[in-house]
Amino acid sequence: MTALVQHEIGPFTIDDWHALPARADGSRLELLEGYWLVTPPPSGPHQWAENEIILLFKNALREASRSELYAVGGVGVEIGSEQRTALIPDFVVLDTAPVGTSFGPEHVLLAGEIWSPGNSPREQRDKLDAYARAGVPSFWSVAQDNRGPTELVTYRLDRGHYVPATSVRAGEGAVRVAEAPEPVEVDIAALRL
């Protein structure tokens, strides 16, 4: 479950976000429209799926000799200081070496979130809108239950808004997904424990 933390001094800025120390409990602290959004540490099935998705991207990038691109998880994306938004997607594909802890959206070719049952529809919509406003070309939305992913919906940016492109559910087998820097074959059942 994610909680929006209100504070009497807010709204906060991206500089405030950078000034915070790392969280010892493994939770993630994001900034959404000036207010803190605290996410508990990811579950085991979530981490498993995240690592497998990143591996899919890494393999596709290697096979295509795209050594200038990097698939990583858990890095910050500075959506914009005007929006006072900085998020930590579960996985990204960057066009710059992942040196540092956060990156501008101009370096993010794809961002993805693995939604836990506790993530509200509003949080999901707000994050999707933030990545679209920032100009991130592709977004992956992964729904999950207590065993891992159940569905993937990919989006592509079209005139500043995301439009759904590919949808695949567990049990449908491998599906070719083009909404990535290099196309990948995704079998949702293989991402489950």
Q: What is the CATH number of the domain that holds 114?
A: 3.90.1570.10
* Polymer length in residues for the chain: 193
Flag whether pLDDT at 6 surpasses 60: no
Question: What pLDDT, in 10s, does the model give residues 49-107?
Answer: 999 999 999 999 999 999 999 999 999 999 988 899 999 999 999 999 999 999 999 99
Cα–Cα distance, 175 to 49 (Å, whole number): 16
Q: Biggest alpha carbon distance in the chain? A: 51
Q: Per the domain annotation, does 138 fall within a domain?
A: yes
Q: Helix (H, G, I), strand (E, B), or coil: what is residue 133?
A: helix
Q: Per the domain annotation, does 161 fall within a domain?
A: yes
Confidence (pLDDT) at 34: 93
**pTM score, two decimals?**
0.93
Confidence (pLDDT) at 94: 98
Confidence (pLDDT) at 2: 55
Q: Per the domain annotation, does 23 fall within a domain?
A: no
Confidence (pLDDT) at 39: 87
Q: Per the domain annotation, does 49 fall within a domain?
A: yes
Flag whether pLDDT at 7 surpasses 70: no
**Concatenated DSSP letters for 42-84?**
PPHHHHHHHHHHHHHHHHHHHHTT-TT-EEESS-EEEEETTTT
Flag whether pLDDT at 136 surpasses 90: yes
Overall number of domains in the chain? 1
Residue range 127-156: mean pLDDT, rounded: 97
User: In 33-179, at which residue ranges do the beta strands (DSSP E only) sit?
Assistant: 35-39, 70-72, 76-80, 85-87, 91-94, 102-103, 108-115, 138-145, 148-158, 161-169, 175-177
Range of the domain at 153: 42-191
Other C-beta atoms lying within 10 Å of the C-beta of residue 130: 22
**Better-predicted residue by pLDDT, 3 or 151:** 151
Q: Per the domain annotation, does 54 fall within a domain?
A: yes
**What phi and psi, each to the nearest 5 degrees, are found at residue 143?**
-85, 145
Tell me the pLDDT band of 25, cut-offs 50, 70 and 90: confident
Q: Per the domain annotation, does 16 fall within a domain?
A: no
Question: What pLDDT, in 10s, does the model give residues 27-64?
Answer: 899 999 999 998 888 999 999 999 999 999 999 999 99
According to DSSP, the residues that pair with 93 across neighbouring strands are: 71, 110
Task: At 73, list the tokens.
Answer: 């998880």
Q: Per the domain annotation, does 2 fall within a domain?
A: no
Confidence (pLDDT) at 15: 93
According to DSSP, the residues that pair with 111 across neighbouring strands are: 92, 139
Q: Per the domain annotation, does 25 fall within a domain?
A: no
